[in-house]
Structure 1
Amino acid sequence: MRCRFRRLNYILFLSISLFLFYRIYNINPISLYSQSPFTLIHYQNNTYRILSSSFKHNSRGSYLNFAYFNVEQRNRVLYIDFLYDIPVSSQWQSDGHLYPIQIAQYGLSHWSRLELNSKNQQNKIYKFERLQPNKNNHCSSWHTIKDEIFLSNTYIHFTISSNCSLHFHFFSNNIELVYSTKTIHDLETLTKRIIPLKGSPRQASRYMLIDIEKLMRKTLVFRRDLIKIQICGDTQSSVTQLIIGNQTLYDQQAFYSATRWLLNNQDLQTGCWFIHVRRNYGHHTQYHLRNPWCSAMAQGQAASLLVRLYSLTNNKEHLLAIRRAIQPLWSSNLTRAYFNNRFLWLEEYPLESSTKGLFVLNGCLYALIGIIDANTIDYQPYLSELINQIIISLQHMLPYYVHPNISNWSLYDLSHITMKSKINTASYSYHLVHITLLQCLRQIFKKTNHSVSQLFDFYVQRFTSAIL
């Protein structure tokens, strides 16, 4: 009887374990063997995409799996800036700052969505021409859209004149969203939210659902609604054209907003997008980031974004911006550290002391891909040499990123070696990022350097085995 009870307990335990493993770590078997460039992984009600064997990196094409990133929906994005139409980050600064890494990722995700959606049918487009207030009552009559709109895919683009406001009223949820070029003191109620717009006339491209959620500080359960539109202001106020519902239009505007900010805010002498947020490393108050600091990851991802812009424009100024973006990665120690005083590393978070480094894995790999993208469209011998130096470092250092206690799991950085910190285990999402970046590099070097491709393949297989 006792033996049967133990056997029953064992079978029950095994069944529950298998069920939980399937629910949490299920890799979609269809994606593994299909021609899709992505493999789907389901973990804790989230879907992640790593690359499949059919993925092909193209410096002008979609960037990794970024077509499925919603940068603007991240918790650490406070809102989309009303002047530049780019995300404002609360990372390390609660009142917000413009963070180059996040801005570059925002542009790359929308460029990748453009690539993805070029093959798909677009959303309906609703156009309103020359909206103006009524002469008698300061506001126009309400213009109603008859169809329900899916707010998770609804974008608006408009040009609004000074001293007026554009009102969107959502029927089912009784929320009014107001875009205004002036301060309107009497509109702040529980069901109305004001989005101020500076400048006149002001062109704007907005994702309405994100604006509402960021202002209400919660994720809304509704994804569709009926809306009506009204413009209020003086007799000279107008909205020349209002377009609703074109996802491609929003992706284009978001891509250009990100590239425009990067082009206008690059330091022309160093090539950096300097970050002015003061930071220590974790609990190590003696280790400070340089102030201001220049992140290799920001430089690499910005270069990848500007390469894609240059593929459209062939503009020499854009090419010069790409060269400047790569400059601090090869010509100075603004972003560099040396492991064991020998192996070059490109630091996502460069410390004040050049003899100390964090050696964050994903930051260096993103920077490497940016260098490769730049070198693809603008070959330079010094960039090829830099790529070779980083490959030599990776050959030596990748074994240190294998967790000593968790089989085939990756580490986020090497601070436990350089600073005697606690081992910084990669989170599940960062572990998948490591796999994705190594998969991309494996594919890039497959035709040109078989031994290097095999190096990356070895760690792809090893890290992937931890989630299978």
Structure 2
Amino acid sequence: IPASSQWQPDGHLYPIQIAQYGLSHWSRLELNSKNQQNKIYKFERIQPKENNHCSSWHTVKDEIFLSNTYIHFTISSNSSLHFHFFNNNIELIYSTKTVHDLETSTKKIILLKGSPRQVNRYMLVDIEKLMRKTLFFRRDFVKIQICGDTQSSADQLIIGNQTLYDQQAFYSATRWLLNNQDLQTGCWFIHVQRNYGHHTHYHVRDPWCSAMAQGQAASLLVRLYSLTNNNEHLLAIRRAIQPLWSSNLTRAYFNNRFVWLEEYPLESTTKGLFVLNGCLYAFIGLIDANTLDYQPYLSELINQIIISLQHILPYYVHPNISNWSLYDLSHITMKSKINTASYSYHLVHITLLQCLRQIFKKTNHSVSQLFDFYVQRFTSAIL
């Protein structure tokens, strides 16, 4: 699972990012389920020679596309697995031991914690970091070697199985969510202290429970439950949604009236940031959960959020840039400068509104039209 360096340079496990990681790989599984896999290469076990620190080199017989360098293997302790790419003349080393070699412009060392360690990785990402340029050979011959003591091994090395790669990533994300949910509140608490922008007197709660994290995690666990029908997974979904409806852990009220699902809930219950994408992601998660496991109180909250969006969406239209969106409403709630959405967030707003338009298309035409209106309006700004 990914570690985030956002707000904390030494890294932390960020539930939003982990849920997005799992959802991304689920989407890729769905998209690629009907596509034929590229060639897959397997090595059952690679071990050092008895009287040698390293094994002989094992060569993949065909030239492979670097876009197909999905790898999966299990490596023992005190071992390093070396991949040498002929055409690009580079080497990637995945190691569970202290490596005394220094990284160079043609060598990258990826340290692995724990042993035996199961590795599921896309080598192209590591190659691009190493090369630091986009112009390199996109097809290459690869040879592989393991180094370590006589007990060292790399087992079930598989190269090129994108489906396996995406499956492992999906299950890793869901496993982390299941193992780290607070059973009492349902939250995945975030323990990174934050102020809001330059407002040192406005603090995000410590720890904080993000509505966006809860919604996206619920969406991911709904997809897991569709595969498992495991009641424990259903209970985890119910717990994930609980902070959205049963308390103000994740909520704020615009004009003290319209409920909003807060990505960054502040300590002060009378203040809110009203981040647009965070609420919409949480809203979609709420709909996913209620579609799977209908509850009257969730339907009521969904209707309340629709009413909120009807009243609040006009405030997200930029007052000075025609049909551009705002990231949040802090200029209203905190008298800040207008927080204009970046180009990427503007596209996210359009995509989320398109998704909601489609969700309500068959069940509530007027609500679908509401979202369509803002899709058209925000899209016109980039045409």
When the two structures are superposed, what TM-score results if normalisation uses the length of structure 1?
0.79
Describe the superposition over 1:397-417 as per-residue Cα deviations: whole angstroms up to 9, x where unpaired.
Answer: 011111111121111110110
Q: Give distance in 2, aligned partners of 1:457 and 1:187.
A: 55
- The alpha-carbon distance between structure 1 residues 224 and 274, as it changes in their structure 2 partners (threshold 3 A), is farther
Deviation at 1:122, TM superposition (A): 1.2
Distance 1:263 1:217, change over 3 A: farther
Distance in 2, matches of 1:354 and 1:148, equals: 60
Q: Where does residue 227 of structure 1 map in the other structure?
A: 142
Would you say 1:428 and 2:343 are equivalent positions?
yes
Are the aligned partners of 1:213 and 1:220 in contact in 2 as well (CA < 8 Å)?
no
- C-alpha change, 1:101 and 1:232, in structure 2 (3 Å) is same
| Post-superposition offset of 1:147 | 2.0
Instruction: Give CA-to-partner distance per residue, 1:189-209, whole Å, 9 cap, x none.
Output: 443322222222221111112
The answer (yes or no) to whether the contact 2:88–2:136 under 8 Å persists in 1 is: no
Q: Using the alignment, how far apart are the partners of 1:93 and 1:309 within structure 2?
A: 30
2:220 and 2:161 map into 1 onto residues whose CA distance is 22
Please name the residue that 1:46 is paired with.
none
Give how far 1:184 is off: 2.2
Work out whether 1:398 is the aligned partner of 2:322.
no
Shift of 1:224: 3.0
Structure 2 partner of 1:298: 213
CA contact (8 A) 1:359 1:415 kept: yes
* TM superposition shift of 1:111: 0.5
Residue deviations 1:408-435, cap 9 Å, x none?
Answer: 1111110110011111111122112111
Flag the 1:364–1:250 CA change in 2: closer, same or farther, 3 A.
same
Following the alignment from structure 1 to structure 2, what is the Cα–Cα distance between the partners of residues 428 and 346? 23
8 A contact 2:55–2:145 mirrored in 1: yes
2:95 pairs with 164, 177, 180, which one? Answer: 180
CA distance in 2, matches of 1:376, 1:318: 15
Structure 1 pair 379–194 and aligned structure 2 pair: CA distance change class (3 A): same
Tell me the distance in 2 between the aligned counterparts of 1:426 and 1:317.
39
- Return the alpha-carbon distance in structure 1 between the equivalents of residues 251 and 175 of structure 2: 27
> Which digits, 9 at most, give the CA deviation of each residue in 1:206-244, with x for residues without a partner?
111223445677767443322110011222222221100
Deviation at 1:153?
Answer: 2.8
CA distance in 2, matches of 1:352, 1:221: 50
Query: 1:310 and 1:352 mapped to 2: Cα distance?
Result: 34
Report the TM-score when normalising by structure 2.
Answer: 0.96
Matches of 1:194 and 1:203, distance apart in 2: 17
SS of equivalent to 2:144: strand
- Structure 2 CA distance, aligned partners of 1:306 and 1:118? 20
Per-residue CA deviations over 1:276-330 (Å, capped at 9, x if unaligned) read 1111111111111111111111111111011000000001111111111111111
Deviations 1:361-393 (A, max 9, x none): 111010000000000111111110110111111
For the aligned residue pairs, the C-alpha RMSD in angstroms reads 1.6
Q: 1:348, CA displacement in angstroms?
A: 0.6
- Alignment check: 8 A CA contact 2:107 2:130 kept: no
Aligned with 2:341: secondary structure? coil
> In the TM superposition, what is the alpha-carbon distance from 1:346 to its structure 2 partner?
0.4
Separation in structure 2 between the aligned mates of residue 124 and residue 246 of structure 1, nearest angstrom = 8
Between the aligned partners of 2:90 and 2:297, the Cα distance in structure 1 is: 56
Alpha-carbon contact 2:186-2:239 (below 8 Å) kept: yes
Deviations 1:246-283 (A, max 9, x none): 11111111111111111111111111111111111111
Aligned to 1:115: 30
Q: 1:156 and 1:454 mapped to 2: Cα distance? A: 45
Deviations 1:19-43 (A, max 9, x none): xxxxxxxxxxxxxxxxxxxxxxxxx
CA contact (8 A) 2:210 2:263 kept: yes
| Residues 215 and 378 of structure 1: CA distance in aligned 2, closer, same or farther (over 3 Å) | farther
User: How far is 1:462 from its partner?
Assistant: 1.5
Fraction of identical pairs, as percent: 92
Deviations 1:118-150 (A, max 9, x none): 122212100011211111211110011132222
Q: Structure 1, unaligned stretches of length 5 or more?
A: 1-85
- Cα distance in 1 for partners of 2:357, 2:105 equals 53
- Provide structure 2 residue ranges, at least 5 long, that are not aligned to the other structure: none
Q: Give the secondary-structure state (helix, strand or coil) at the position aligned to 1:87.
A: coil
The separation in 1 between residues aligned to 2:381 and 2:105, in whole angstroms, is 48
* Worse-superposed segment, 385-394 or 93-102: 93-102
Distance 2:310 2:105 in 1: 58
- CA distance 1:216–1:296, shift in 2 (3 Å): farther
